[in-house]
């Protein structure tokens, strides 16, 4: 196919194809693109004619891509990124007048402890924009970025899509959170004897603290696992339960009252808080503006020194 032949290709069909590759479902692709299922089905029929291939085969509730679809996707995805980059570079962005919609992914600790400060700044600088926040973590981040459901994510991250970019915002130290009135910091024996609460998106009953305790030949007893931080103060109130949380989360929880924070009574390592974003939007003026504000209000230069 030469460049003139491209005139008969509807770019919207390629967007539908990419979304189907991510979602493996006509229903979810329709929801993602804000279209009806008949429209997605019709687009899929046209795609099959365009590429002369079934592209997807239904297996149970999922649609598995054909070998040809996988081959097309490997070539198409970076091409669509390049088109997006070319268009975004030509666009202008004025925060004061923009009505852009930004979709970002935040881990629970970041949303609870750091988002309020950022939101106040965004409302002052750009009152017309819309901010859509998705819950993200190191498990969800790769697929959210790859599918375009978010353009920026902030959390601890591990693996990321090949075209994603990443930057360290801060290094966080764990803090011990407690609501009791016993004076003085906890000793290691007290720490191990106390019941513990753990914030875990996946519902795990162990974490990095257990790894550090194991190095010392010690153990703790986790009696509560919850998926988010914002109710932790209430849960600890009136109990002898303790919890270990990131320092910036501890600051937000202690500021609200009812709990106090101290250093854990054992050696602990710092953790990096990352900002990751889609490479195709690296030079988008609006995205660059938002990333600069996130770095300003989520970052901590002193922790990186």
- In tens, the pLDDT along 269-286 reads 999 999 999 988 888 899
Phi, psi values for residue 65, rounded to 5°: -75, 150
Radius of gyration of the chain (CA): 24
Let me know: does 270 contact 219? Beta carbons within 8 Å. no
- In tens, the pLDDT along 47-73 reads 898 888 989 988 877 889 899 988 888
Instruction: Give SS3 for 203.
Output: coil
* pLDDT of 266: 95
* pLDDT of 7: 67
CA distance 164 to 91: 21
- List the chain residues with pLDDT less than 70: 1-8, 84-91
Let me know: does 106 contact 153? Beta carbons within 8 Å. yes
CA distance 199 to 192: 18
* pLDDT of 126: 96
Q: Which one, of 95, 88, 93, 50, lies nearest residue 69 by Cα? A: 50
Phi, psi values for residue 225, rounded to 5°: -125, 125
Alpha helices in 148-281 (DSSP H): 188-193, 208-215, 232-236, 247-255
- pTM metric for this prediction: 0.73
How many CB atoms are closer than 10 A to CB 284?
22
* pLDDT of 85: 63
Cα 214 to Cα 39, 194, 207, 211: the distances in Å are 56, 16, 11, 5
* pLDDT of 204: 82
* pLDDT of 160: 86
CA distance 188 to 242: 13
Mapped to the 3 state alphabet, what secondary structure does 97-161 carry? Answer: CCCCEEEEEECHHHHHHCHHHHHHHHHHHCCCCEEEEEECCCCCHHHHHHHCCCCEEEECCCCCC
Residues 6+ apart with CB under 8 A from 95: 125, 126, 129, 289
In sequence order, the β-bridge partners of residue 196 are 222, 242
Residues 6+ apart with CB under 8 A from 145: 105, 151, 153, 160, 161, 164, 276, 277, 278
* pLDDT of 18: 86
């Amino acid at each position: 196919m030469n460049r003139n032949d491209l005139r008969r290709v509807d770019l919207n069909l390629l967007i539908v194809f990419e979304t189907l590759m991510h979602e493996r479902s006509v229903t979810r692709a329709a929801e993602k693109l804000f279209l009806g299922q008949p429209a997605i089905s019709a687009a899929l029929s046209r795609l099959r004619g365009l590429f002369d291939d079934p592209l997807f085969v239904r297996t149970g509730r999922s649609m598995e891509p054909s070998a040809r679809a996988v081959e097309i996707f490997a070539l198409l995805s970076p091409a669509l990124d390049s088109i997006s980059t070319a268009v975004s570079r030509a666009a202008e962005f004025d925060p004061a007048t923009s009505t852009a919609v930004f979709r970002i992914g935040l881990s629970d600790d970041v949303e609870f402890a750091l988002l309020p400060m950022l939101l106040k700044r965004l409302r002052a600088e750009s009152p017309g924009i819309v901010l859509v926040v998705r819950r993200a973590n190191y498990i969800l981040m790769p697929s959210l970025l790859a599918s375009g459901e978010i353009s920026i994510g902030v959390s601890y991250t591990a693996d990321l899509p090949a075209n994603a970019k990443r930057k360290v915002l801060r290094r966080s130290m764990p803090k011990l959170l407690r609501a009791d009135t016993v004076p003085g910091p906890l000793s290691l024996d007290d720490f191990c004897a106390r019941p513990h609460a753990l914030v875990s998106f996946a519902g795990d009953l162990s974490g990095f603290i257990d790894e550090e305790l194991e190095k010392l030949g010690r153990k703790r007893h986790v009696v509560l696992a919850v998926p988010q931080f914002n109710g932790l103060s209430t849960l600890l109130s009136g109990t002898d339960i303790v919890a270990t949380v990131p320092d910036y989360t501890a600051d937000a929880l202690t500021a609200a009252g009812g709990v106090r924070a101290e250093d854990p009574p054992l050696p602990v390592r710092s953790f990096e808080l990352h900002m990751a974003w889609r490479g195709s939007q690296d030079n988008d003026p609006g995205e660059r503006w938002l990333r600069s504000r996130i770095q300003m209000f989520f970052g901590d230069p002193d922790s990186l020194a």
